[in-house]
Amino acid sequence: MKTRPILSRMTLAALDRSRHRDYWLLMLVCGFPSLLAVVFGVGASFESEGFIYVGWFDRYNFWPMVIVLPLALWVLRRTFSRIAFISPPDVPDPPPPLVMLFRSNPSPQKVYDLLRDWICSPKVMGIALLISIGIQVADLSELVSVYLFDTPLRAGEFDWSVMYQAGLLSKTTNMIFCFFAYILQFLMTTLGIFGITFLTAHNLFFLNRIYQRSRVVAGEEENYITLDLEDVNRCFGFRAANNAFNTQVIALGIAGIVILTSRFSNVTAIDDSMGLQDLLSWSSLAEISFFPDIGQTLLAIGWFLTLFIVSSPALVKLLPRLPGGGLSELSIGVYLREFLTDEQWRYGENPSEKQINLIAAKFARNGFWPTGDNRASQLFFFSFWVFLVILYPIRTNDVSLLVVSLIVLGVIAFGLRSVLLKLLNSSLSYVDERLTDPRPDLLLEDEDKLIRIRGKVFISYRREDSLAYARLLKQSLATHMDESRIFMDLTDIHAGDDFVTTLESAIAECDTLIAVIGPQWSSCKGPDGQRRLEKGDDFVRLEIATALTEEKLLIPVLVGNASMPRAEELSADIAALWRRHARELSDSRWEYDVGELALAISEKD
């Protein structure tokens, strides 16, 4: 196992859910300033010479960190484990969602290592620390000026950080107290910035690994994510990464609510006599202090930056047009071929106009957002709305005025969302308008030629033998049937489900069971050295035996140059598998072989 730089180890430690001691350590660190506040006598508010110095326990942005910071770390770890769980050195089960998008790579471990190395780059934690230090320097510049040059304080800044001016303690003691207090702010800021750099690294890995012909060396295609233009879900086959992208949207929403709480508690309340007409005038808005300090400004900037990062996967269709794209020519044929491997591009060097139109229609049918354009529309509307409220939080006791102001901002957000979606489409239209036109007539004509499977299909496989092939097979079969009618344990068995009961129920409901057989299917051994097929509790054996008992259509599918197991290698309850006609799915003619398999299944429907 390679030794990683300290910043990389810090990233892994920050994401490791098994490090429970970190929560206790944070509670001790965060509780220490409160103990000092009691010892130094700066816990309660104090009045001196007409000024009220707000005590440590009367300011609610620091001492609650004893609970808030450990909780924030726990939430971050739980959230990011849904996006990309990369703590263990070996690929976890289930693997991170992005790993499942590499459909042509037979080694999930290799892809997992690529993702893990990318996110664990020292730059991810290093940038977070540098930005956090910069924020602390900017935020503390005024306080440092007070201590070093006796600069007068602004109204509202008299609190525990300068209580030495009231004579309660010496300047040195107060400075020591401030040092330990602001460590909490540094930790919280670093955690928040790390969250942003983590999402940035994750989404950049996704965009960087989208296959582009001009950027990928021949023979390296399996290390990239290829677009599936035939995807029935209309999101290029990215639906397997739903968790990763949708969790980011949910986290963005939660962050927005937290920031709104801070914004509403810090902005200047408007005069009760101010009406809606006054509120809409620039002169009245100018009187409201929307950004009373640099911290509030940084909150708004940070959330907008996070919004951009979370939205960045929507740039997939535009990758050849972005800086660094390898295309010098932007004709529609070249643009479409840029996304397709030689195996996917079956039209030669001079495709016909009709073929180009059909490929363009399929490209246009798929959405910008990896989980569908409907979700993208909701994301952008909500995000712009929250951003506008963060910019202009109207703090008032007049409920009707507050509701009207939120509605006005919502209407503006809807307009901004529409403008953004049009900008994305116009960027593609600049190349050729056909890239944004799904052409239902062409798609329906092509649809009629497709083989359709009407029944339900169960995919049986061994994870250590043929996981990548099974995932690719499911994706390929989805062009011939509704993906929800394909059962695969990796995606259809959820936390807390009874594994055996779920498998038996799924087999009972299916019409066809496909047994994916790789080179090690029959020879795989358990930790005790015994062949798995010889064990009565082997799930693959259970699946096949159940399918035989219930007389389901059972089709052995050979992958990775595997051959059918010999009769003597099979136990009595699955011996009949040996007599089933097997089909081979070769790497070189995968789509053709899957088409033949789909035809065989459809003929039995």
**Band of residue 558 on the pLDDT scale cut at 50, 70, 90:** very high
C-alpha gyration radius of the chain: 30
pLDDT of 446 strictly over 60:
no
Model pLDDT, residue 267: 55
Q: b/e for 474-510, b at 16 or more Cβ within 10 A?
A: bbbbbbbbebebbbbbbbbbeeeeeeeeebeebbeeb
Predicted confidence at residue 591, as pLDDT, reads 79
Amino acid symbol at 446: D
* Burial label, 225 (beta-carbon count in 10 A; 0-12, 13-18, 19+): buried
**Any idea which of 443-447, 541-545, 575-579 has the lowest mean pLDDT?**
443-447
Q: Would residue 192 be called left, alpha or beta, if left means φ above 0 and alpha means ψ between -120 and 50 degrees?
A: alpha
Least reliable range by pLDDT among 97-101, 270-274, 325-329, 536-540: 270-274
What pLDDT was estimated at residue 604?
74
Classify residue 567 as exposed, middle or buried by CB count within 10 Å of its CB (0-12, 13-18, 19+).
exposed
Mean pLDDT, residues 510-516:
93
Model confidence band, residue 139 (pLDDT cutoffs 50, 70, 90) = confident
Instruction: Please give the full DSSP string across 252-303, using - where no structure is assigned.
Output: HHHHHHHHHHHHHHHSPPPPTT--HHHHTSHHHHHTS-S--SHHHHHHHHHH
User: For residue 602, is pLDDT > 90?
Assistant: no
Q: With cut-offs at 50, 70 and 90, classify the pLDDT of residue 282.
A: very low
> Cβ-count burial of 328 within 10 angstroms (0-12 exposed, 13-18 middle, 19+ buried)?
exposed
Per-residue pLDDT of 157-174, as tens digits, reads 788 888 888 888 899 999
User: What predicted TM-score, i.e. pTM, was given to this entire model?
Assistant: 0.72
- In the chain, ranges of CATH 3.40.50.10140 domains: 457-604
pLDDT in tens, 31-59: 999 999 999 988 888 888 778 888 899 88
Average pLDDT over residues 64-81: 92
Most confident option among 83-97, 160-174, 194-208, 435-449 = 194-208
pLDDT at 443: 55
Distances (CA, A) of 321 to 271, 336, 427, 430: 50, 12, 8, 10
CA distance 421 to 275: 34
Answer whether residue 104 shows pLDDT above 80: no
* Max avg pLDDT among 16-20, 53-57, 322-326, 358-362: 16-20
The pLDDT of residue 449: 55
Q: Which is higher by pLDDT, 177 or 402? A: 177
pLDDT, tens only, 285-317: 444 445 555 666 777 777 778 888 888 888 888
Indicate the pLDDT class of residue 357, thresholds 50, 70 and 90: confident
Report pLDDT for 10. Answer: 94
Peptide bond preceding 89: is omega within 30 degrees of 0, i.e. cis?
A: no
Contacts for 505 with CB less than 8 Å, ≥ 6 apart = none
The fraction of the chain above a pLDDT of 90, given in percent, is 28
CATH number for the domain running over 457-604: 3.40.50.10140
pLDDT in tens, 583-600: 999 877 787 788 889 888
Helix/strand/coil for 194: helix
Task: Determine contact, residues 235/369, Cβ cutoff 8 Å.
Answer: yes
